[in-house]
């Protein structure tokens, strides 16, 4: 059995076609049937958010669940509140997708995103419509606890020494998304002086699209330079990811951000670093320099989060986890990607060193990672062709096929939901990376 409706991070689609209130209400009544109890519903700033959140609340209430409206907030804030107070959660968001998209991320009572097995069960209920329908005495009640986002803010601030960022200036670009009310406030309470851009909730995203690309962050870079800030930080549409520009306004590669924060975590405690097979070797390099071992998972933050928890339950120390796209997981805080926490950790790191981000990044080994999206109706055929590229070298089949040569590695993996495969090639030598990529493309397209 495989997931059909849900991808790696929930279900998403264009409003009015694949995504609509009717579908979300069915997800709500299936979820209420499965989880029961008190369920929190939150959303990002998309124009379709209130329509879908209303549908979600209606579906849940009709099964007899009590629903708590937590309003507009980052996905990690909802996850934190669910873990602390509720039996489950639903986040109406399409994360980094363009404005016309929306969707649902389902949160378990422990604050993690719903895993594959339970999602398959949920999908079966959505399809069969075999859901609980409460009678008039048993329908759920709706309450508003949107003020609780404050608890998320202080849960992050209290992780760090008081006013650790005094004297530092930071520019925050929440991209008109839900972190407008969280990240600037977190950094301000840590003692930093804050400037903001795109910091008003706006589902038309007038300043930039929800995906924080170097092009979209040009105004942020400009403001960093103009204000002499230590760095600029931007979020994707639901603020589970954070990306940075350095003190010169230069975009910091997400793997570099990951490496800097993983290094800081590994220096604090020796333990495992958990990351997907698609992540740069840079992370393993900095971890091993601190005496830490790296363990890889399939691609998807939920696999990283659950693997972190599994190792902790087995008695291991886990220092850090995350993905090479700016989605980082801080095991002392919670087991999900958290953009606000990432911004705070970077601020604390910079406050504790004499060097700016560009200096810290400049000390790291440099890698070239090339990515290619290959459209195909037959991902399996390409994957088996990729196996032939291995040439007797042992394969890693954690997710798709990864081949590691002496001076490079390559990964080919099918997309979870769409008709294409992704190729990743990385080497310290940019020419080598290009050559490998060309050889592989020639071979698998043959």
Are 31 and 40 a contacting pair, CB within 8 Å?
no
Which segment (94-102, 176-184, 211-219, 429-437) binds Mg ion by CB under 5 A? 94-102
The distance of closest approach from Cβ of residue 227 to Mg ion in the complex, given in angstroms and rounded to an integer, is 27
Number of residues counted as binding Mg ion (CB under 5 A): 4
Stretch that binds Mg ion, among 90-98, 253-261, 303-311, 404-412 (CB under 5 A): 90-98
Stretch that binds Mg ion, among 16-24, 219-227, 229-237, 317-325 (CB under 5 A): 229-237
Angle subtended by helix axes 116-128 and 21-35, to nearest 10:
120
95 or 427: whose CB is closer to Mg ion?
95
Q: What gap in Å lies between CA 127 and CA 130, rounded to an integer?
A: 8
- Position of tokens 């329509």? 51
Of residues 117-176, those binding Mg ion (CB under 5 A):
none
Q: Nearest distance from residue 364's CB to Mg ion, in Å?
A: 25
Between 238 and 281, name the residue whose CB sits nearer to Mg ion: 238
Active site residue 95: yes
102 binds Mg ion (CB under 5 A): no
State in angstroms the smallest separation of the CB of 434 from Mg ion.
31
Instruction: For residue 108, report the phi and psi dihedrals to the nearest 5 degrees.
Output: -75, 165
| Six token digits for residue 253 | 């590669």
Site residues for Mg ion, 230-259, by CB under 5 A, read 236, 238, 240
**Smallest separation (angstroms) from Mg ion to the CB of 76:** 9
Instruction: Indicate which residue of 29, 62, 95, 280 is catalytic.
Output: 95
Tokens 């979300």 locate to 24
CB of 329 to Mg ion, least distance (A): 13
| Nearer to Mg ion (CB atom), residue 368 or residue 417 | 417
- The CA distance from 114 to 6, in Å, is 10
Compose the 33-52 pattern: x for residues touching Mg ion by CB under 5 A, - for all others.
Answer: --------------------
Between residues 23 and 243, which has the closer beta carbon with respect to Mg ion? 243
Distance CA 232, CA 247 (A): 8
114 secondary structure, DSSP code? P
Q: How far apart are CA 347 and CA 177, in angstroms?
A: 21
Question: How does 350-374 read in b/e, with b if 16+ C-beta sit within 10 Å?
Answer: bbeeeeebeebbeebeebbbbeeee
Taking the complex as a whole, how short is the minimal distance between the CB of residue 44 and Mg ion, in angstroms?
A: 9
| Cα 253–Cα 256–Cα 257 angle in degrees, nearest 5 | 90
Cβ nearer to Mg ion, comparing 239 with 386 = 239
Q: Is the dihedral of CA 197, 203, 207, 208 positive or negative?
A: positive
- The pairs formed by 211-220 with CB atoms below 8 angstroms and a separation of 24 or more are 211/96, 211/97, 211/98, 211/236, 211/237, 212/96, 212/173, 212/175, 212/236, 212/241, 212/243, 212/326, 214/251, 216/175, 217/173, 217/243, 217/245, 217/251, 219/173, 220/171, 220/173, 220/245, 220/249
**Closest residue to Mg ion, Cβ-based?**
95
Residue (97 or 398) nearer to Mg ion, CB: 97
Residue from the set 33, 79, 95, 279 that interacts with Mg ion by CB under 5 A: 95
Q: What CA–CA distances, in Å, run from 18 to 71, 93, 303?
A: 24, 14, 26
How many angstroms separate the CA atoms of 402 and 390, rounded? 9
List CB contacts of 117: < 8 A, sequence separation 6 or more: none
Q: Please identify, using beta-carbon distances, which residue of 236 and 254 lies nearer to Mg ion.
A: 236
Token pair listed for 113: 């995103």
CB of 124 to Mg ion, least distance (A): 26
Residue number with CB closer to Mg ion (97 or 427): 97
Question: Smallest gap, in angstroms, from Cβ of residue 236 to Mg ion?
Answer: 4
Enzyme catalytic residues: 95
- In the complex, the residues that contact Mg ion under the rule CB under 5 A are 95, 236, 238, 240
């Amino acid at each position: 059995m495989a997931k059909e409706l849900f991808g790696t991070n929930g279900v998403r689609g264009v409003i009015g076609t694949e995504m609509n209130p009717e579908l979300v209400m069915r997800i709500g009544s299936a979820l209420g049937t499965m989880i029961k109890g008190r369920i929190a519903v939150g959303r990002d700033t998309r124009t379709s958010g209130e329509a879908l959140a209303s549908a979600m609340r209606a579906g849940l209430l009709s099964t007899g669940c009590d629903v708590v409206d937590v309003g507009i907030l980052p996905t990690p804030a909802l996850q934190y509140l669910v873990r602390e107070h509720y039996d489950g959660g639903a986040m109406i968001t399409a994360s980094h997708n363009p404005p016309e998209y929306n969707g649902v991320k389902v949160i378990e009572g422990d604050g993690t995103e719903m895993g594959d097995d339970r999602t398959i069960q949920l999908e079966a209920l959505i399809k069969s419509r075999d859901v609980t329908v409460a009678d008039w005495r048993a329908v759920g009640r709706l309450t508003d606890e949107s003020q609780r986002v404050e608890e998320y803010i202080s849960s992050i601030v209290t992780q760090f020494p008081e006013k650790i960022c005094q004297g530092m200036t930071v520019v925050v670009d929440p991209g008109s998304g839900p972190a407008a009310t969280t990240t600037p406030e977190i950094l301000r309470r840590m003692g930093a002086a804050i400037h903001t851009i795109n910091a008003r909730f706006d589902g038309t995203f007038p300043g930039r699209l929800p995906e924080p690309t170097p092009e979209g962050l040009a105004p942020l870079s400009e403001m960093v330079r103009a204000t002499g800030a230590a760095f600029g930080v931007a979020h994707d549409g639901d603020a589970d990811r954070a990306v940075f520009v350095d003190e010169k306004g230069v975009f910091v590669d997400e793997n570099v951000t990951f490496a800097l924060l993983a290094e800081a975590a590994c220096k604090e405690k020796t333990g495992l670093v958990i990351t997907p097979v698609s992540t740069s070797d840079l992370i393993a390099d900095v971890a091993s320099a601190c005496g830490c071992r790296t363990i890889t998972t399939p691609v998807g933050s939920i696999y990283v989060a659950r693997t972190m928890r599994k190792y902790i339950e087995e008695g291991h120390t886990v220092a850090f986890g995350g993905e090479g796209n700016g989605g980082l997981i801080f095991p002392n805080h919670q087991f999900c990607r958290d953009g606000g926490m990432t911004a705070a950790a970077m601020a604390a790191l910079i406050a504790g060193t004499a060097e700016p981000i560009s200096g810290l990044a400049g000390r790291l080994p440099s890698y070239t990672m090339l990515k290619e999206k290959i459209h195909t109706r037959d991902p399996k055929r390409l994957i088996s062709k990729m196996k032939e590229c291995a040439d007797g070298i042992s394969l890693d089949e954690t997710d798709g096929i990864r081949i590691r040569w002496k001076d490079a590695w390559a990964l080919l993996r099918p997309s979870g939901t769409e008709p294409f495969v992704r190729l990743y090639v990385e080497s310290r030598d940019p020419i080598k990376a290009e050559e490998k990529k060309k050889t592989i493309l020639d071979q698998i397209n043959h």
